[in-house]
């Protein structure tokens, strides 16, 4: 019963991701072309009305998630794999370097990652800043969770049995510890993904995202906020898209975390 | 009637299956009632249903619980005022930030007497369990030894002289000395005749002498004769399997645990290691298995010098020594089926082919009394006893000369424990398997050829 | 005795950690802004200067000196209260920050005052609330913590401002008036800051509370009939408090960072908005000073958290 629930949420989250990535193909109209008056309300052929420059809101919502999602996936993947690798090492090794890594990650943990990304955006483009912020702010969290899990696993019967049959550290980590914590790793990846989506939305809304004619959910929010009285859909649709993306990934992560 | 009366108690699990069906029991003031049965027969569930603290998933669908003739209503308040409770793991049941005296003072709040009176009662309760309040009263649990912490919990359960005392598995919860104190105190309560006592235990022998009445739950499982696994060829030597001299061990925090200890185990010999909790019994086994650092000492295994860290050991040394731990929950990797756990050592240490390993794994399962389809199952689908038997099969897979067994029967019911011990006896005769077993179970120690007692050093009771 | 030793041993450790955090943060801030690709002079001149002009610019700004030397003089200046001048307006950075401070402080304080009790209530309700409500509250907390702040801002504007016309959609403050003089203007920014912070904090705190409640000695207390209030106060609180205070420091840090988005979206002239416009204009002295200030706030939160943890649990210094 619980497996089917995971499957259900996983399929839903996968669907949302697929839509965010490939939605542009369904748009049927160029997201950058002016087709109506600014903030025109919904009508035939314009199910969600028009935006600040009279462009089709639906087409822009369908197209506006791709770069953000791709960037978030890359950032989450980088942060999570770095953190998992570091955590396995820091939890397994009892050396001074491992302790120092844990202390450093504890310190990095408290740095607000939006500020880290704001700093990074001074010198690198937006997507790279999202990755930098997610890695700096997210990898330490992963490292800590994974290091604790690994340190605990060291004293379990299955790890001691593996050591007692002469398996090497790396083999124990990848054959025993990592599979036993697959749910934890999946949940963690999801959480980093949510972080990256939030970060990217924040940076894009502040104007550090893709340049203007491009469609982007967060940028759409800012562009259309002044017209919320005229066409609320121009604001609510991208907001809902962002919420759906982050929410479905968070839901999947939450269920995975509960199972591990 | 006075005391506790339970009638028609029925508890169902999440799927609606009955865990406890239509149970009656009662105990009057001045009586001791024992609830006995193998693990998995719902003893603890009965106890929790009586106290009205069933865990989520279990529901009481029928039954009446009466105290002094009236049905229980505000159960939490009733427990606070009338019940003294000692759980299965008393030392972890102590608040880590409360001193021993403060812990014992807590149940005395309901008395409502003056501070001085309560304090005197707390000191008396500590003294009753053999603890010096002057010396230990201000200590936090982490500054107490395991046995002392157990006694503090016992003192807390008894401090307010509760009308109903409930003990959950005292024989495994308390070390022998603390258990003796508990038994003496229960006898005294019974003689005074004011209060009732309910004891739950899987070990019928200890409670039998203490209880006025015994209620048995479940039927003992039919014993099946275990089949021995095929002999794994192994070089035999005439001398001891393992000889250790001058062994010194430290705790992980650096405090010394053992000094200049020595032991020698002959092929086929069963040596039991006894000692109070926290004395380093388990650490000794883990050190021999190469999993705990050794401060000093040398060892010879099958005539060859043995290197301490497990990483430095040769394949024959790895094969010859096998460890089975005490925690059946963490014994198996949740991500791998039983078959994987068994085949890996067979392939790695005995060099069997894939097909040979699969066949041998089935034989090992049969040897520990598990059905063949266990191989396909994941640990989450096995009970604690079944997992422990899989762990034992995994330890036997390499064909060891010496099995290091750390409380292997603690999580098993009497019937299963018996079968596991029978299997070890069989292997000792047929294959000269030597066993070094840490235990505080007297039935295990009774089967041993020799008993080692651990304090700061080790003494050897030859039989 | 051992406990006292730990207590006194712990205090310098707390300070060392905060000091480490600050020096770590200042180094990262300086390195990222000054030493990453491109010369700061090029960045500052917008790429339109000749080689000769660039050299002059470098000399003026002291950029021809070695990196380590510049770092030390920057840090010394900042610590003595003079973080330099804005490259865009030429005004002292300290003055800019002083001007913007009241708005951000008001905003953050109001948001924190709303977020902290909300966080505690949500976390407790998700673990110890009425059984049928628990999954609902947990879902609310998990979903709320995941919701991007900008999406929440849009939703709040749509509801409170566009649909119900309760508050104005943007918060343009008349110049010279203190921010608290028009509370209606602060409703949207404060809610946008506080709600995600509360949900995020509650999501983490929920874990800590659930963890504490499942500890053997807490379960045992319930079994022994210790009253629910006493269990919460004497058993759960001391276990959760250190984690909760530390969490609070993190939440406060996130809240400070969130002012950038909120102030920009709602048109409030605070420190967050100053940071965003300075990043956009590559005004490095301002960026460095504002981010270091934020790091100092986080470090102060951390010191408080560690001190509270030490006071509640004297084993803190001894454990690990």
What's the pLDDT at B435?
Answer: 92
Per-residue pLDDT at A108 exceeds 80: no
CA-CA distance, B373 to B384, in Å (whole number)?
A: 17
- Determine whether the interchain pair C142/A251 forms a contact, defined as Cβ–Cβ distance below 8 Å: yes
Q: Around Cβ B312, how many Cβ atoms within 10 Å?
A: 10
Q: Which residues of B touch C1 (CB under 8 A)?
A: none
**Nearest residue to C152 (alpha-carbon basis) of A130, A229, A133, A198:** A198
Cα distances (Å, whole numbers) of residue C60 to B153, C29, C43, C96, C283: 74, 22, 15, 22, 16
Q: Per-residue DSSP letters for C174-239? A: PTTS-GGG-HHHHHHHHHHHHHHHHHHHHHHHHHHHHHHHTSHHHHHHHHTT--HHHIIIIIIHHH
Task: Count how many domains chain B has.
Answer: 2
For chain C, the residue count is: 320
Name residue, tokens 């099946």: B224
Higher pLDDT, A175 or C32: A175
Cα distances (Å, whole numbers) of residue C65 to C44, C72, C109: 17, 11, 41
First vs last C-alpha separation in chain B: 52
Same domain, B258 and B206: no
Q: Around Cβ C264, how many Cβ atoms within 10 Å?
A: 20
For residue B231, what is the DSSP state?
Answer: P
Per-residue pLDDT at A78 exceeds 90: yes
CB B282 within 8 A of CB B437: no
Q: Is B16 exposed, middle or buried (0-12, 13-18, 19+ CB in 10 A)?
A: exposed
Q: Which residues of C touch B89 (CB under 8 A)?
A: 216
What is the overall mean pLDDT for chain B? 83
DSSP, collapsed to helix, strand or coil, labels residue B54 as coil
Per-residue pLDDT at C3 exceeds 50: no
Residue C193 pLDDT grade (very low, low, confident, very high; cuts 50, 70, 90): very high
CA-CA distance, B83 to C118, in Å (whole number)?
A: 37
Of residues C138, C256, C282, nearest to A112 (C-beta): C256
DSSP, collapsed to helix, strand or coil, labels residue B294 as coil
Residue C176 pLDDT grade (very low, low, confident, very high; cuts 50, 70, 90): low
Per-residue pLDDT at A88 exceeds 90: yes
CB B414 within 8 A of CB B206: no
Higher pLDDT, A138 or C163: A138
- Determine whether the interchain pair C146/A247 forms a contact, defined as Cβ–Cβ distance below 8 Å: yes
Per-residue pLDDT at C254 exceeds 90: no
Residue B236 pLDDT grade (very low, low, confident, very high; cuts 50, 70, 90): very low
CB B310 within 8 A of CB B392: no
Q: Which residues of C touch A222 (CB under 8 A)?
A: 150, 265
- B119-155 tens-digit pLDDT: 888 999 999 888 888 888 888 888 887 788 888 999 9
What's the pLDDT at C21?
Answer: 77
CATH of the domain at B118: 3.40.50.300
Burial call C160-196: b when 16+ CB within 10 Å, e when fewer: bbbeeeebbbebebeeeeebeeeeebbbbbbbbbbbb
- Determine whether the interchain pair B85/C221 forms a contact, defined as Cβ–Cβ distance below 8 Å: no
What's the pLDDT at B429?
Answer: 87
Q: Which domain holds residue B103?
A: 4-216
What's the pLDDT at C7?
Answer: 42
Per-residue pLDDT at B232 exceeds 70: no
Same domain, B186 and B261: no
Contacts of residue B433, defined as CB under 8 A and 6 or more positions apart, other chains included, come to B268, B400, B401, B402, B403, B424, B427
* Tokens encoding C184: 């209606």
> What is the assigned CATH class of domain A2-29+46-259?
mainly alpha
- Determine whether the interchain pair B331/A156 forms a contact, defined as Cβ–Cβ distance below 8 Å: yes
Cα distances (Å, whole numbers) of residue B107 to B84, B92, B102, B122, C100: 8, 17, 10, 10, 56
- Determine whether the interchain pair C225/B76 forms a contact, defined as Cβ–Cβ distance below 8 Å: yes
CA-CA distance, A86 to A100, in Å (whole number)?
A: 12
- Determine whether the interchain pair C220/B80 forms a contact, defined as Cβ–Cβ distance below 8 Å: no
Q: Per-residue DSSP letters for B187-212? A: HHHHHHTS-EEEEEES-HHHHHTT-S
Q: Is C7 exposed, middle or buried (0-12, 13-18, 19+ CB in 10 A)?
A: middle
Listed residues B165, B181, B216: the one ending a domain: B216
* Tokens encoding B209: 């002498």
Higher pLDDT, C5 or B171: B171
Question: Which of B334, B336, B397, B407 to substitute to test the interface with A, most A CBs within 10 Å?
Answer: B334
Per-residue pLDDT at A111 exceeds 80: no
Q: Which residues of A touch C17 (CB under 8 A)?
A: 107
Same domain, B258 and B180: no
What's the pLDDT at A194?
Answer: 93
What's the pLDDT at B361?
Answer: 92
What's the pLDDT at A21?
Answer: 84
CA-CA distance, B87 to B361, in Å (whole number)?
A: 38
Per-residue pLDDT at C50 exceeds 80: no
- B78-107 tens-digit pLDDT: 998 889 998 887 878 888 888 889 999 988
CB B372 within 8 A of CB B306: no
Higher pLDDT, B11 or B16: B11
Which helix or strand (DSSP H or E) is residue B57 part of?
none
- B324-347 tens-digit pLDDT: 887 777 889 988 899 999 999 898
Lowest mean pLDDT among A150-164, B295-309, C304-318: C304-318
Provide the residue ranges of all domains of chain A, joining segments of one domain with +. Answer: 2-29+46-259
What's the pLDDT at C195?
Answer: 93
- A220-258 tens-digit pLDDT: 888 888 888 788 888 888 999 999 999 999 988 988 887
Residue B455 pLDDT grade (very low, low, confident, very high; cuts 50, 70, 90): low
- C291-307 tens-digit pLDDT: 888 888 888 887 887 78
Name residue, tokens 């790890």: A159
Which helix or strand (DSSP H or E) is residue B166 part of?
strand B164-168
Burial call B120-135: b when 16+ CB within 10 Å, e when fewer: ebbbebbebbbbebee
Residue B225 pLDDT grade (very low, low, confident, very high; cuts 50, 70, 90): very low
**Nearest residue to A245 (alpha-carbon basis) of A16, A14, A66:** A16
> What is the assigned CATH class of domain C93-319?
mainly alpha
Name residue, tokens 């596991």: B420
The pair phi, psi for residue B181, each rounded to 5°, is: -60, -45
What's the pLDDT at C318?
Answer: 36
CA-CA distance, B320 to B314, in Å (whole number)?
A: 10
CB A45 within 8 A of CB A36: no
Per-residue pLDDT at B184 exceeds 80: yes
ipTM of the complex as predicted: 0.84
DSSP, collapsed to helix, strand or coil, labels residue B255 as coil
Residue A86 pLDDT grade (very low, low, confident, very high; cuts 50, 70, 90): very high
Name residue, tokens 């999954």: C135
Q: Which residues of A touch C43 (CB under 8 A)?
A: 123
Contacts of residue A144, defined as CB under 8 A and 6 or more positions apart, other chains included, come to A87, A102, A105, A106, A109
**Nearest residue to B207 (alpha-carbon basis) of B352, B426, B4, B43:** B43
CA-CA distance, B9 to A143, in Å (whole number)?
A: 49
Q: Cα-atom radius of gyration of chain A, to the nearest Å?
A: 22
How many Å lie between the alpha carbon of A155 and the closest alpha carbon of chain C?
17
Same domain, B30 and B134: yes
What's the pLDDT at A46?
Answer: 79
Lowest mean pLDDT among A62-76, B21-35, B274-288: B274-288
Q: Is A96 exposed, middle or buried (0-12, 13-18, 19+ CB in 10 A)?
A: exposed
The pair phi, psi for residue C283, each rounded to 5°, is: -90, 80
**Nearest residue to B91 (alpha-carbon basis) of B132, B146, B168:** B146
Per-residue pLDDT at A260 exceeds 70: no
- Determine whether the interchain pair C154/A225 forms a contact, defined as Cβ–Cβ distance below 8 Å: yes
CB B381 within 8 A of CB B334: no
Residue B210 pLDDT grade (very low, low, confident, very high; cuts 50, 70, 90): confident
Q: Is residue B67 part of a domain?
A: yes
- Determine whether the interchain pair C258/A114 forms a contact, defined as Cβ–Cβ distance below 8 Å: yes
| CA C148 from centre of chain | 16
Per-residue pLDDT at C169 exceeds 70: no
3-state helix, strand, coil in chain C (%, to 5): 80, 0, 20
Residue C115 pLDDT grade (very low, low, confident, very high; cuts 50, 70, 90): very high
* Tokens encoding A13: 């989250």
What's the pLDDT at C191?
Answer: 92
Q: Around Cβ B49, how many Cβ atoms within 10 Å?
A: 23
Question: Which of C5, C7, C217, C311 to substitute to test the interface with B, most B CBs within 10 Å?
Answer: C217
- Determine whether the interchain pair C148/A250 forms a contact, defined as Cβ–Cβ distance below 8 Å: no
Per-residue pLDDT at C5 exceeds 50: no
* Tokens encoding B381: 């689908």
Residue B351 pLDDT grade (very low, low, confident, very high; cuts 50, 70, 90): confident
What is the overall mean pLDDT for chain A? 85
Q: Cα-atom radius of gyration of chain C, to the nearest Å?
A: 24
The pair phi, psi for residue B32, each rounded to 5°, is: -120, 125
The whole-number average pLDDT for the span A53-60 is 83
Q: Is residue B248 part of a domain?
A: yes
Same domain, B189 and B307: no
Chains that touch B (3 or more CB pairs under 8 A): A, C
Higher pLDDT, B272 or C35: B272
> Could you tell me if residue B403 is left (phi over 0), alpha (psi between -120 and 50 degrees) or otherwise beta?
beta
How many Å lie between the alpha carbon of B126 and the closest alpha carbon of chain C?
18
Contacts of residue B222, defined as CB under 8 A and 6 or more positions apart, other chains included, come to none
* Tokens encoding C213: 């409640």
């Amino acid at each position: 019963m619980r497996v089917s629930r995971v499957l259900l949420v996983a399929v839903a989250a996968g669907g949302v991701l697929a839509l965010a990535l490939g939605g542009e193909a369904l748009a049927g109209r160029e997201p950058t072309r002016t087709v109506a008056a600014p903030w025109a309300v919904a009508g035939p052929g314009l199910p969600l009305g028009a935006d600040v420059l009279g462009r089709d809101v639906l087409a822009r919502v369908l197209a506006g998630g791709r770069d953000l999602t791709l960037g978030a996936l890359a950032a989450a993947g980088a942060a999570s794999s770095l953190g998992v690798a570091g955590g396995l090492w820091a939890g397994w090794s009892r050396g001074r370097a491992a302790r120092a890594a844990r202390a450093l990650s504890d310190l990095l943990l408290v740095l607000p990652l939006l500020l880290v990304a704001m700093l990074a955006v001074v010198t690198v483009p937006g997507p790279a800043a999202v990755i930098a912020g997610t890695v700096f702010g997210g990898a330490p969290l992963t490292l800590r969770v994974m290091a604790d899990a690994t340190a605990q696993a060291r004293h379990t019967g299955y790890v001691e049995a593996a050591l007692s049959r002469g398996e090497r550290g790396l083999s124990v980590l990848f054959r025993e510890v990592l599979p036993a914590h697959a749910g934890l790793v999946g949940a963690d990846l999801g959480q980093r993904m949510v972080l990256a989506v939030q970060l990217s939305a924040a940076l894009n809304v502040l104007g550090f995202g893709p340049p203007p004619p491009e469609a982007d959910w967060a940028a759409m929010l800012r562009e259309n906020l002044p017209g919320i009285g005229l066409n609320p859909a121009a604001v609510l649709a991208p907001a809902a898209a962002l919420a759906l993306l982050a929410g479905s990934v968070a839901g999947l992560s939450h269920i995975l975390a509960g199972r591990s | 009637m006075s005391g506790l009366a339970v009638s028609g108690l029925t508890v169902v699990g999440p799927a609606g299956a009955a865990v406890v069906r239509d149970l009656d029991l009662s105990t009057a003031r001045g009586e001791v009632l024992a609830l006995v049965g193998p693990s998995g027969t719902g003893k603890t569930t009965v106890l929790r249903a009586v106290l009205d603290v069933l865990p989520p998933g279990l529901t009481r669908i029928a039954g009446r619980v009466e105290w002094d003739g009236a049905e229980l209503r505000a159960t939490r308040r009733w427990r606070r005022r009338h019940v003294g409770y000692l759980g299965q793991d008393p030392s972890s049941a102590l608040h880590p930030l409360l001193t021993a005296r403060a812990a014992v003072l807590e149940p005395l709040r309901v008395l409502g007497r003056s501070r001085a009176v309560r304090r005197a009662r707390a000191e008396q309760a500590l003294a009753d369990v053999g603890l010096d309040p002057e010396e230990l009263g201000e200590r936090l649990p982490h500054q107490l030894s395991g046995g002392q912490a157990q006694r503090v919990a016992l003192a807390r359960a008894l401090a307010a002289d509760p009308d109903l005392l409930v003990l959950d598995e005292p024989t495994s919860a308390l070390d022998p000395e603390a258990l003796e104190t508990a038994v003496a105190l229960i006898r005294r309560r019974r003689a005074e005749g004011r209060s009732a006592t309910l004891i739950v235990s899987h070990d019928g022998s200890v409670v039998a002498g203490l209880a006025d009445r015994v209620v048995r739950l479940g039927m003992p499982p039919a014993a099946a004769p275990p089949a021995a696994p095929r002999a794994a060829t192994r070089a035999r030597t005439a001398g001891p399997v393992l000889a250790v001299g001058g062994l010194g061990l430290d705790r992980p925090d650096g405090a010394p645990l053992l000094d200049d200890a020595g032991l020698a185990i002959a092929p086929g010999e069963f040596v039991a290691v006894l000692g109070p909790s926290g004395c380093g019994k388990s650490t000794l086994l883990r050190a021999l298995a190469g999993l705990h650092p050794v401060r000093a000492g040398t060892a010879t295994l099958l005539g060859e010098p043995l290197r301490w860290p497990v990483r430095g050991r040769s394949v024959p040394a790895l094969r010859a020594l096998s460890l089975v731990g005490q925690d059946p929950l963490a014994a198996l990797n949740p991500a791998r089926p039983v078959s994987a756990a068994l085949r890996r050592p067979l392939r790695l240490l005995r060099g069997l082919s894939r097909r040979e390993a699969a066949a041998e794994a089935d034989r090992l399962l049969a040897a520990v009394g598990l059905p063949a389809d266990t191989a396909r199952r994941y640990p989450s689908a096995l009970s604690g006893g079944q997992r422990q038997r899989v762990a034992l099969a995994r330890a036997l897979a390499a064909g060891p000369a010496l099995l290091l067994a750390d409380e292997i029967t603690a999580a098993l019911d009497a019937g299963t424990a018996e079968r596991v011990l029978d299997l070890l006896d069989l292997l000792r005769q047929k294959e000269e398997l030597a066993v070094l077993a840490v235990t505080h179970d007297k039935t295990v120690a009774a089967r041993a050829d020799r008993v080692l007692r651990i304090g700061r050093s080790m003494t050897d009771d030859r039989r | 005795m051992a406990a006292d030793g730990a207590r006194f041993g712990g205090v310098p450790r707390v300070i060392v950690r905060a000091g480490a955090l600050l020096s770590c943060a200042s180094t990262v801030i300086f390195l990222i802004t000054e030493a990453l690709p491109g010369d700061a002079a090029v960045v500052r001149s917008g790429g339109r200067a000749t080689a000769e002009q660039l050299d002059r610019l470098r000399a003026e700004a002291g950029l021809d000196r070695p990196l380590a030397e510049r770092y030390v003089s920057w840090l010394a200046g900042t610590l003595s209260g003079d973080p330099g001048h804005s490259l865009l307006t030429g005004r002292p950075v300290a003055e800019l920050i002083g001007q913007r401070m009241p708005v951000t402080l008001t905003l953050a304080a109001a948001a924190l005052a709303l977020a902290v009790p909300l966080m505690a209530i949500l976390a407790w309700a998700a673990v110890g609330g009425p059984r049928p409500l628990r999954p609902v509250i947990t879902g609310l907390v998990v979903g709320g913590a995941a919701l991007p702040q900008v999406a929440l801002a849009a939703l709040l504007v749509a509801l409170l401002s566009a649909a119900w016309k309760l508050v104005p959609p943007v918060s343009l403050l008349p110049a010279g008036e203190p921010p608290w003089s028009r509370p209606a203007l602060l409703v949207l920014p404060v809610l946008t800051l506080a709600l995600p912070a509360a949900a995020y904090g509650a999501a983490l705190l929920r874990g800590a509370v659930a963890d504490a409640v499942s500890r053997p000695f807490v379960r045992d207390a319930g079994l022994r009939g210790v009253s629910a209030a006493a269990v919460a106060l004497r058993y759960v609180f001391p276990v959760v408090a250190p984690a909760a205070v530390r969490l609070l420091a993190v939440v406060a840090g996130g809240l400070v960072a969130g002012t950038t988005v909120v102030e920009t979206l709602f048109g409030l002239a605070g420190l967050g908005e100053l940071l965003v416009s300075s990043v956009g204009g590559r005004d490095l002295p301002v960026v460095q000073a504002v981010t270091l200030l934020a790091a100092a706030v986080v470090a102060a939160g951390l010191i408080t958290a560690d001190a509270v943890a030490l006071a509640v649990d004297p084993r803190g210094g001894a454990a690990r």
